[in-house]
Amino acid sequence: MGPAARPTAYAVGYSLPPALRAELFNEPVTQDASGRECDCEPVSAPGCNSGDTIATMTSASSSPHTADVIVIGGGLIGSSIALRLAQAKLRVSVFDRGEPGAEASSAAAGMVGPQSETAEPDSFFALCVRSHALFPEFVSEVEDLSGLDVGFRSEGSLLVAIEEKQVAQLEKLFWNQSRAGLPLERIPLASLPHKMPGLSSKVRLALGASEDHWVDNEKLTRAVIEAAHRLGVKFYARTGVEDLSVRENHVEAIHAGNGPPGGPPTSYSAGSFVLAAGCWSGALAAQAGLPLPVQPCRGQMMEFESPREIPHVVRAGSHYLVPRSARRVLVGTTAEYVGFEKTVTAEGLQSVLKGAMKFAPFLKDCAFLRAWAGLRPDTSDHLPVLGYGKLDNLILATGHFRHGILLAPLTAQQISELILTRSTSFSLEAYRPTRFA
């Protein structure tokens, strides 16, 4: 099997500044094994002849403990990468310390809206826009492959402000994004009750982001896992990776186990490895000689049953409402750096509810359904970690923080390209794993 053809550029609905468009639609950028950009042609995997690929490198072995690619982490990011590689006919195994998709991927709200958190468009916004453009096709493909509905909606978001600080933030956001030609409109306050019933009469400013989408991330994660499974991906649930077997700058195998504590782990080998373990990526990266400042950021969420359908995502500062099917509505969130503690706290829920009810007082009539907490993988610069580290067959895809759902299609596209062709269709330089060294 030869290298996969490069995907063509996707149309983007946003009108971007020339500098951002240059970054978004630049010529293919080749990376060497250390993650640095170079002018060389795409190269084959180490130890192979020039005509070989990862698929031919490991296909001689039929051992159940051997794969073409091993993905460490079975969340939406890792499973989406596995899906893309399986579509390229590679044998892929995914290892997860718990149930695949049960951590940050299922705990998120599912917003797919680059504009909502962007005061001023920059290069990271360009990355998010590219993934946003991939999302409708990604969803359609996953639904077809899995036979499952993922609850994708594209009615846009409302950004509202009550407090003076929020008004100033939205005015800045509106000015910068409008100047860049992005689709953002002022909503007349008189029409707000018709557009979104139940909002507070104290709302002082409302903006409409018509290009925003959202998805039921729990359904999407299950569907991606099912699609990958149907294409032959092996998922090892409750099988934590304990360490990497490294020799001469090359990962030869992982040691993983799901037996009793203290029992011997099993060795699994592959031609390439992807580290997509979210908050738990740091320890394994350290074994690969790569300091990776990834830490968990706890977010607490609540879900209610509303007496009416909610037509839009509504955001005010760090608080938001996200509609779900059957008149359910998600309310979030907190941002707490408390280690790996996922406890739902009274203080956290009080903060969430107090913040949301300021702009959505109709919540007082909603029936409480559940509350939960998840751990987002954050980095010291709040940007994802994508590409090769210091080892020639270990690629990282982690640290997506609040943007893991949004960035899943693009991450899967670029990481699979990197494995299949040793290059990517646009630069990942700003997200290289070695930037923390």
pLDDT for position 359: 96
Q: What is the mean pLDDT of residues 138-163?
A: 96
| Fold of the 157-210+295-379 domain | D-Amino Acid Oxidase; Chain A, domain 2 (3.30.9)
Query: How far, in Å, CA of 165 to CA of 73, rounded?
Result: 39
> Within the chain, how many helices (H) and strands (E) appear?
11, 21
Distances (CA, A) of 219 to 167, 369, 374, 420: 35, 18, 16, 28
Sequence ranges of the domains in the chain: 25-106+219-293+381-436, 157-210+295-379
pLDDT for position 116: 85
Query: What's the pTM value of the predicted model, to 2 decimals?
Result: 0.87
∠87-92-93 over CA atoms, to 5°? 145
CATH of domain 25-106+219-293+381-436: 3.50.50.60
Helix ranges restricted to H, 29-75? 54-58
Q: What is the mean pLDDT of residues 53-62?
A: 44
246-304 pLDDT per residue, tens: 998 999 999 998 766 667 889 999 999 999 999 999 999 998 889 999 999 999 999 99
Nearest residue to 15 (alpha-carbon basis) of 216, 211, 170: 211
The radius of gyration of the chain's CA atoms, rounded to the nearest angstrom, is: 22
Q: Are 189 and 297 in contact (CB under 8 A)?
A: no
Would you place residue 19 in the very low, low, confident or very high pLDDT band (cuts 50, 70, 90)? low
Query: How far, in Å, CA of 39 to CA of 402, rounded?
Result: 33
pLDDT for position 180: 83
Is residue 12 pLDDT above 90, yes or no?
no
Is residue 80 pLDDT above 50, yes or no?
yes
pLDDT for position 44: 33
Nearest residue to 219 (alpha-carbon basis) of 121, 147, 159, 156: 147
